[in-house]
Amino acid sequence: MTKTQTRPRPLDGITIVSLEHAVAAPFATRQLADLGARVIKVERPGSGDFARGYDQRVRGLSSHFTWINRSKESLALNLKQAQARAALMQLLQTADVLVQNLAPGATARMGLSYDALKAHNPRLIVCDISGYGQDGPWRDKKAYDLLIQSEAAFLSVTGTPEAPVKAGISVADIAAGMYAYSSVLSALLLRGRTGEGSHIDVSMLEAMAEWMGYPLYYAFDGAPPPPRTGASHASIYPYGPFTAGDGASLILGVQNEREWQAFCEGVLQRPELARDPRFAGSSQRNTHRAELQALIAQSFGRLSAAELAQRLDTAGIAHARVNDLAGLWAHPQLAARQRWREVGSPVGPLPALLPPGASNAFSCRMDPIPAVGQHTRAILAELGWSEEQITRLQAQS
């Protein structure tokens, strides 16, 4: 063990109970577990979190589940049974946080609303994650990631002029999970000052609306929205994919006048373009992007991707490869920074990335991915249940 691994983690001693499935809540609680929290994931007996069945791409495990469920304990309870609900209530009497993203109104019907739980545990923090929030006319609408991407106008600015395109990852779920994570951290800080718990209401729509801030203000006061421009930036040019003479593509970005001058002189080797009034400023370059694109294509067509990358490096212009997933697995920067670890799972050791934000004060928790109900007996025994009671409860499930 290294010295940092023996140091306390920020959330050591904090217990999170989570009624979670899919992505948003599990992503939030896995990050809390990374910081040392004990996360008890309540699942359906047998099938568990339905995200376990999304695919079998990781030696039989689901890719989604593998990604966001390490370092958790799985407690299998059929919450339609009174005894199971009693066990959950017993657990919540001493827990620090409840996170849930069940169907709208489901926890309230089980007596697990913040107001009901506060009477039993005034220090409890309750974080509800839903599509549209805990009130308002859309409160009870079902919401999935793609639906929220669409409702939040994300699709209206993503894709090509011919067709909108969704994000290739669950961006609305991830946005909600990130705000749940940061909100729970802030609630724990507040409780440290007041001694009282609080209620957090995270809406996927509101999370995505926040992330849509730039296009919202771009279309301020009835102005036209930014156009869909594929992998190019909608309002900054040149910023996007460009093809070299050997057919390979690079993404590059020129964001200010200093970079524009360096790009003209060192990459295009046409310094006079830096003084061309058509391209004098970001707005002008965007207005005349078709003309500029033709000039760039003419210059890049004489270079291989390696030669182009060399010119961009020398000129100090930001650029990147158009990488694929195999390339990301093998990325030299991730390897050089030793970002990969192994975690246990029901199918054996699996590679896992350390969470972003390397700290010199502690090592993030990187514990196994649980099987459904793997920790049920241990958790119930910890609550004082006898072997007979545990066996009877499991038999009823």
Residue pLDDT tens, the chain, 397 long = 344 457 899 999 999 999 999 999 999 999 999 999 999 999 999 999 999 999 999 999 999 999 999 999 999 999 999 999 999 999 999 999 999 999 989 999 999 999 999 999 999 999 999 999 999 999 999 999 999 999 999 999 999 999 999 999 999 999 999 999 999 999 999 999 999 999 999 999 999 999 999 999 999 999 999 999 999 998 899 999 999 999 999 999 999 999 999 999 999 999 999 999 999 999 999 999 999 999 999 999 999 999 999 999 999 999 999 999 999 999 999 999 999 999 999 999 999 999 999 899 999 999 999 999 999 999 999 999 999 999 999 988 7
372 and 295 in a common domain: no
112 and 8 in a common domain: yes
Tell me which amino acid residue 115 is.
D
- Residue 275 covered by a domain: yes
188 and 267 in a common domain: no
CATH classification of the domain holding 126: 3.40.50.10540
Tell me which amino acid residue 391 is.
T
DSSP-derived secondary structure letter, 5: G
Q: Phi and psi at residue 320, in whole multiples of 5°?
A: -150, 155
Decide: 170 and 23 in contact? Cβ < 8 Å: yes
Look at the chain and count its residues: 397
Question: What pLDDT is attached to residue 255?
Answer: 93
| Residue after which a domain boundary falls, among 268, 289, 322 | 322
- Residue 372 covered by a domain: yes
- Residue 328 covered by a domain: no
CB-based contacts of 173: which residues, under 8 Å, 6+ apart? 22, 23, 24, 27, 145, 204
Measure the CA–CA gap between 212 and 152, rounded to whole angstroms: 8
153 and 10 in a common domain: yes
152 and 296 in a common domain: no
Question: What pLDDT is attached to residue 396?
Answer: 85
Nearest CA to 154 out of 212, 222, 216, 203 is that of 212
Q: In which residue are the tokens 């072997």 written?
A: 387
CATH classification of the domain holding 291: 3.30.1540.10
387-396 helix and 82-92 helix, angle to the nearest 10 degrees? 130
176 and 61 in a common domain: yes
How many domains does one find in the chain? 2
- Residue 342 covered by a domain: no
Measure Cα distances from 257 to 170, 285, 298, 300 in Å.
35, 11, 22, 21
- Residue 226 covered by a domain: no
- Residue 317 covered by a domain: yes
188 and 251 in a common domain: no
| Residue after which a domain boundary falls, among 322, 356, 376 | 322
Measure Cα distances from 321 to 291, 305, 311, 318 in Å.
24, 9, 14, 11
272 and 127 in a common domain: no
298 and 174 in a common domain: no
Task: For Cα atoms 346, 6, 333, give the angle at the middle one, nearest 5 degrees.
Answer: 65
37 and 144 in a common domain: yes
- Residue 228 covered by a domain: no
| pTM score, whole prediction | 0.92
389 and 287 in a common domain: no
Catalytic residues: 233
Question: What pLDDT is attached to residue 5?
Answer: 56
Task: Compute how many other C-beta atoms are within 10 angstroms of the C-beta atom of residue 5.
Answer: 10
Question: What pLDDT is attached to residue 3?
Answer: 44
Q: Domain range holding 356?
A: 4-212+347-396
Put residue 221 in one of left, alpha, beta given phi > 0 → left and psi -120 to 50 → alpha. left
- Residue 31 covered by a domain: yes
Measure the CA–CA gap between 397 and 376, rounded to whole angstroms: 12
